[in-house]
Chain A
């Protein structure tokens, strides 16, 4: 029987990649372990090794094909002496330009969380009001936006430097710091040992002297090792010093669930850090916000927790082409206007919220979607203004419900908009369990579009 060679997944969150080069041609004998092709993801170029032996009977995806979905058959290996004509009987899958169907079919992935690049609704990337009319927009991934933000600020201010694990020579574990070492050199782009507690404290000490460190955590899960320095040293020293000793530092990195990495690597820390006076906490969704808010965070004289999301890194959005695009911290954004129900979300939670809004629209319910963007200080005014209009609110977060961001929003709405509420504030959150590994359980543990839709309908009495 001929064997299909499938497009491999090279990282937990990879959805598709470019088949950059075949190293074998049709008719070549293949031994297990032979490198047969090179595949380029947004993070790296990887070699594909054959697992099976035989003859490379047919190449299904030619060199240079972009966005080949994971699990797409890319070639067929026939056994020695097998009739080459058997090959034509093999299933031939067309290269899927959009990965979502192929990915959805695979049991491995939380589908709602994985809208492919470019699939984000146009309304999600409405420009800021302060962007002048007629500004040129460029499509850019969140990853590129973050890198550009750091590079621009490092050009602007020599006291800005970036440190963390694999940020320099490796070009970033998630390639967010790509190219920075080449432009700014090893004095300002610094690979650290794997010692989060130590280098977080070192960064805080440097910030006490007035430098502006950007400390990258490979993921925020590892920042738990450093949380004492973040809270006890970075957040509190200004107060404890009577205003003498500020700490202009940014702690950034991917936060929340990636895909299939289980409980210790899948956690949303937004609520944790938002509890702390003395910190600002930012969690952008779009590339434009990622860029503008990171620039604001680097300029901010206070410690800023900048929560990124690994799944969003590869998503592309329209970003205004401006020399200095800065988005103010502490302002939410109405991502979609509506009159019937308010959905408040942040970071990847926005993907559920926006899709749910589209579903609801089909049933005649117009949802207003508020992208919180900053968790602390929380822009409660924008939420209240929306709820005054709609009388209803659903909050969406991947983190746990108890003492979560949604719980805070619900309490604030009780305080500031009680008379405007026509229904209880309803929370959609991650389930109250550690993140499971099994694909089906992981999907169940995360929020879903269906849950957001159901919550909105329940309080809209629809």
Chain B
């Protein structure tokens, strides 16, 4: 049994630890002769080289990703101290996905995701104090301490959760897009889900309606290679998630989700497609989570080498950092200043979340009905 498990994990490592495919290669692989014209066009665009970011954009991406990284590290630490309870799913390693996508949005676009949601909230501009205090179950948390890690929302920041049932957010996000079309407000809903959720039935029910009614929704599949402990190849008959919309005529792309530039560029294409009334668009973000599925997961289903390789060769923050130092000649001191600012925000949020009181007992009975 142990041997078999190890073999499986090695096999998984061998197939799954391959570098994220270059978008051009992925696009070529996708281009089959029978594809509708729309899909072909999408793939042609994907073949174009990754456009560079400006210095300001690189700095912005660096700061945003670093905030998520440090926040999550702190959350992990506080979980270990018993300050955070229950489930806690960290986003470390996947930061480029949500940060790149947010760089492609405009005010009013909505975001909805599953349970690995802290990064999305921070990227949407939600306050670190409120997020951390929700993790510790305090009254200053976004849900007054009643939702926890997986259930936070901000109407002001157009963030619709934070959903704990795998795949449920896909139908919900499609509904938000439906409301956008109903109101003709020009907004697009970014609906995030993982490679695990991509096998849920309601995802395809939603794909069907989204394309049928040309709803302004971008389905962002964060393929971090493992649905909890099950590698993609052990759970999915079709491991190219960009093709999951093919039978509904939804165009899709595979994107290097460790490269914030590639994410932003693909996000812009997808959002433009959806906003212009052409319907949904699928982006498979090839990414990687460094930590276990949740805090209690030792992640024995993959090798240490695999994780190490991803961290060393593909880390999304390191990539930006290198470019800032070499291409943009930003000084180490300048970056250190950013690091210090981010640490200050995170430490302050931990401080707040530790000392903020628990909700008043009377809160037990509130917010059940309006």
Question: A245 contacts B161, CB within 8 Å?
Answer: yes
Question: A208 contacts B202, CB within 8 Å?
Answer: no
Q: Which of A206, A211, A242 meets B141, CB within 8 Å?
A: A242
* CB-nearest residue of chain B to A279: B369
Q: Inside 8 A of A198's CB, which chain B residues have their CB?
A: 171, 174, 202, 204-206, 208-209
Measured in the bound complex, the distance between the Cα atoms of B151 and A232 in whole Å is: 11
Q: Which of A161, A187, A199, A245 meets B160, CB within 8 Å?
A: A245
Q: Inside 8 A of B172's CB, which chain A residues have their CB?
A: 201-202, 204-205, 208, 229, 233
Measured in the bound complex, the distance between the Cα atoms of B213 and A198 in whole Å is: 14
* CB-nearest residue of chain B to A234: B172
Question: A211 contacts B370, CB within 8 Å?
Answer: no
Taking the complex as formed, is B212 at the interface, i.e. its CB lies under 8 A from any CB of chain A?
yes
Question: B151 contacts A208, CB within 8 Å?
Answer: no
Q: Inside 8 A of B2's CB, which chain A residues have their CB?
A: none
Measured in the bound complex, the distance between the Cα atoms of B154 and A210 in whole Å is: 14
Taking the complex as formed, is B143 at the interface, i.e. its CB lies under 8 A from any CB of chain A?
yes
Interface residues of B in 142-185 (CB under 8 A from A): 142-147, 151-155, 160-165, 168, 170-180, 182-183
* CB-nearest residue of chain A to B168: A233
- Are A241 and B168 CB-contacts (below 8 A) given A161-B182, A193-B212, A206-B176? no
Taking the complex as formed, is A195 at the interface, i.e. its CB lies under 8 A from any CB of chain B?
yes
Question: B146 contacts A242, CB within 8 Å?
Answer: yes
Q: Which of B144, B147, B154, B179 meets A211, CB within 8 Å?
A: B179
State how many angstroms separate the Cβ of A239 from the closest Cβ of chain B. 5
Taking the complex as formed, is A243 at the interface, i.e. its CB lies under 8 A from any CB of chain B?
yes
State how many angstroms separate the Cβ of A15 from the closest Cβ of chain B. 36
Taking the complex as formed, is B366 at the interface, i.e. its CB lies under 8 A from any CB of chain A?
yes
- Are A197 and B153 CB-contacts (below 8 A) given A202-B171, A238-B368, A246-B370? no
Measured in the bound complex, the distance between the Cα atoms of B153 and A241 in whole Å is: 6
Taking the complex as formed, is B201 at the interface, i.e. its CB lies under 8 A from any CB of chain A?
yes
State how many angstroms separate the Cβ of B271 from the closest Cβ of chain A. 18
State how many angstroms separate the Cβ of B361 from the closest Cβ of chain A. 15
State how many angstroms separate the Cβ of B121 from the closest Cβ of chain A. 12
* CB-nearest residue of chain B to A205: B175
Measured in the bound complex, the distance between the Cα atoms of B144 and A240 in whole Å is: 9
Taking the complex as formed, is B367 at the interface, i.e. its CB lies under 8 A from any CB of chain A?
yes
Measured in the bound complex, the distance between the Cα atoms of B168 and A237 in whole Å is: 12
Question: A197 contacts B370, CB within 8 Å?
Answer: no
- Are A206 and B178 CB-contacts (below 8 A) given A240-B146, A243-B366, A243-B367? yes
Question: A197 contacts B205, CB within 8 Å?
Answer: yes
Q: Inside 8 A of A242's CB, which chain B residues have their CB?
A: 141-147, 367
Q: Inside 8 A of A239's CB, which chain B residues have their CB?
A: 146-147, 367-368
State how many angstroms separate the Cβ of B13 from the closest Cβ of chain A. 34
Q: Inside 8 A of A229's CB, which chain B residues have their CB?
A: 168, 171-172, 202
Q: What total of A-B pairs shows CB separation below 8 Å? A: 145
Measured in the bound complex, the distance between the Cα atoms of B44 and A444 in whole Å is: 67
Q: Which of A202, A228, A244 meets B206, CB within 8 Å?
A: A202
Measured in the bound complex, the distance between the Cα atoms of B168 and A437 in whole Å is: 35
Q: How many residues of chain A are within 8 Å of chain B by beta carbon?
A: 39
Contact with A along B192-235 (1 / 0, CB 8 A): 00000000011011101100100000000000000000000000
Contact with B along A409-452 (1 / 0, CB 8 A): 00000000000000000000000000000000000000000000
Question: A193 contacts B143, CB within 8 Å?
Answer: no
Measured in the bound complex, the distance between the Cα atoms of B176 and A213 in whole Å is: 12
Q: Inside 8 A of B182's CB, which chain A residues have their CB?
A: 161, 187, 206, 211
Taking the complex as formed, is A192 at the interface, i.e. its CB lies under 8 A from any CB of chain B?
yes
Question: B160 contacts A193, CB within 8 Å?
Answer: no
- Are A209 and B179 CB-contacts (below 8 A) given A243-B367, A244-B153? yes
Question: A206 contacts B146, CB within 8 Å?
Answer: no
Question: A205 contacts B142, CB within 8 Å?
Answer: no
* CB-nearest residue of chain B to A235: B368
Measured in the bound complex, the distance between the Cα atoms of B369 and A246 in whole Å is: 8
Contact with B along A206-236 (1 / 0, CB 8 A): 1111110000000000000000110011000
Measured in the bound complex, the distance between the Cα atoms of B143 and A195 in whole Å is: 31
* CB-nearest residue of chain A to B359: A242
State how many angstroms separate the Cβ of A153 from the closest Cβ of chain B. 16
Q: Inside 8 A of B209's CB, which chain A residues have their CB?
A: 192-193, 195, 198-199, 202
Question: B206 contacts A245, CB within 8 Å?
Answer: no
Taking the complex as formed, is A373 at the interface, i.e. its CB lies under 8 A from any CB of chain B?
no
- Are A278 and B174 CB-contacts (below 8 A) given A193-B205, A198-B202? no
Measured in the bound complex, the distance between the Cα atoms of B62 and A394 in whole Å is: 69
- Are A280 and B205 CB-contacts (below 8 A) given A233-B168, A244-B154, A244-B155? no
Question: A232 contacts B165, CB within 8 Å?
Answer: yes
Question: B146 contacts A208, CB within 8 Å?
Answer: no
Taking the complex as formed, is A266 at the interface, i.e. its CB lies under 8 A from any CB of chain B?
no
Q: Inside 8 A of B176's CB, which chain A residues have their CB?
A: 205-206, 208-209
Q: Inside 8 A of A201's CB, which chain B residues have their CB?
A: 168, 170-172, 174-175, 202, 206
Measured in the bound complex, the distance between the Cα atoms of B205 and A206 in whole Å is: 16
Measured in the bound complex, the distance between the Cα atoms of B123 and A409 in whole Å is: 49
Question: A301 contacts B143, CB within 8 Å?
Answer: no
Q: Which residues of B contact A (CB under 8 A)?
A: 110, 112, 141-147, 151-155, 160-165, 168, 170-180, 182-183, 201-202, 204-206, 208-209, 212, 366-370
Interface contacts beyond A197-B171, A232-B168, A244-B154: sample of 13 additional A-B pairs, CB < 8 Å, sorted by A: A198-B171, A198-B202, A204-B172, A205-B176, A229-B172, A237-B153, A237-B161, A240-B153, A244-B153, A245-B153, A245-B155, A278-B368, A302-B370
Interface pairs (7), CB distance under 8 Å: A187-B182, A193-B205, A202-B209, A204-B171, A208-B160, A229-B202, A242-B147
Which 9 pairs, one residue from A and one from B, show the smallest C-beta to C-beta distance? A205-B175, A201-B171, A198-B205, A242-B144, A205-B172, A195-B205, A242-B143, A240-B151, A202-B175
